[in-house]
Chains A and B, each alone.
Chain A
């Protein structure tokens, strides 16, 4: 059993709604924390091939830095550039297995991006939580569950 196509499509639809909610939004992506694209919606193709792996890298680095500086749990990362901004955050309630990354031109304010991204992450978290839980319950029933929830190869 793997996460269903229907779930992936609903996730993609959620990302599409996100980028339509404010002018200047360019794209949104859900990737696994080990850098593989699960769902994506974008008005441009910039960085498409590498964005998932880079999102995983910066999220892990950001969390390591917060931990190193003893500043508590990392809620999000924000990058600002001349032409736009990037926001990344963990998707809640999914065993810390997914990251949401959003990028937008500067006409979208950082506050707006964060607000919309958090709402989307909540929505996607609810979608994926059900799917991940279903997979785990099935595997446990078949006595095939991996030792930890962090190592489930079926989350593809």
Chain B
């Protein structure tokens, strides 16, 4: 069975766990625990290893979904999971007090991952992108050497996320990025 790996990154509270749960065809593996820092003021729990889900594409193909922790102190999970990754979805919380701050933090900690893979920025919690936010995002992305489309999304809804995934797979197909040099062992 062929499997492709997609990573979902973004600031804490941007909707990564929700997105994995909405997309997955299997019950997700969650590593959420109680938040004990400032994050606890906006949400009870936070992911400390990864959320794992799968999309089944017929008998022979799966897309493996990994939602990563948003805090920089968990950058070791990126190092562990990055090899073989086909593409990355970066979730942005449009409803946050300062969405650009979240993007800036994410790019600071995970910029290398975003640069080296096909990337889509999915702006959650809005149906329409604020033009000023779009401009700010594009500027920040360019500053980190990253080029990516921005699309609004509702991370709670599979039908909203599937087009993002399709866009990402299109980017992969036309980017010529090879996820892994190693052939599968079986």
Contacts and interface: CB of A to CB of B under 8 A. Distances in A.
Interface of A: 32-36, 50, 52-54, 56-61, 63-64, 68, 95-97, 146-153, 155-156
A97 B40 CA distance: 13
Given A35-B74, A53-B74, A57-B77, A153 B34 contact: no
A97 B36 contact: yes
A145 to B, nearest CB: 12
A52 B29 CA distance: 22
Nearest to B29: A64
Contacts of B35: 34, 150-151, 153
20 contacts: A32-B37, A34-B34, A34-B37, A34-B46, A53-B76, A56-B49, A57-B49, A58-B49, A59-B48, A60-B48, A61-B31, A61-B49, A63-B31, A97-B34, A146-B40, A148-B44, A150-B45, A153-B38, A153-B41, A155-B36
B30 A153 contact: no
Given A33-B48, A96-B34, 6 more contacts: A32-B36, A34-B33, A34-B36, A57-B74, A147-B44, A151-B34
Interface in B50-78: 69, 71, 73-74, 76-77
Nearest to A98: B36
Nearest to B52: A64
Interface residues of B, number: 25
* B contact face: mostly helix, strand, loop, or mixed: mixed
Q: Which of B30, B36, B46, B74 has the most CB of A within 10 A?
A: B36
Contacts of B44: 146-148, 150-151
A148 B49 CA distance: 22
B36 to A, nearest CB: 4
B40 A151 contact: yes
A60 B71 CA distance: 16
Contacts of A146: 40, 44
A61 B30 CA distance: 8
A57 B30 CA distance: 11
B27 to A, nearest CB: 9
The 6 closest A-B pairs by CB, nearest first: A150-B34, A60-B31, A153-B40, A151-B44, A53-B73, A33-B33
A129 to B, nearest CB: 15
B16 to A, nearest CB: 15
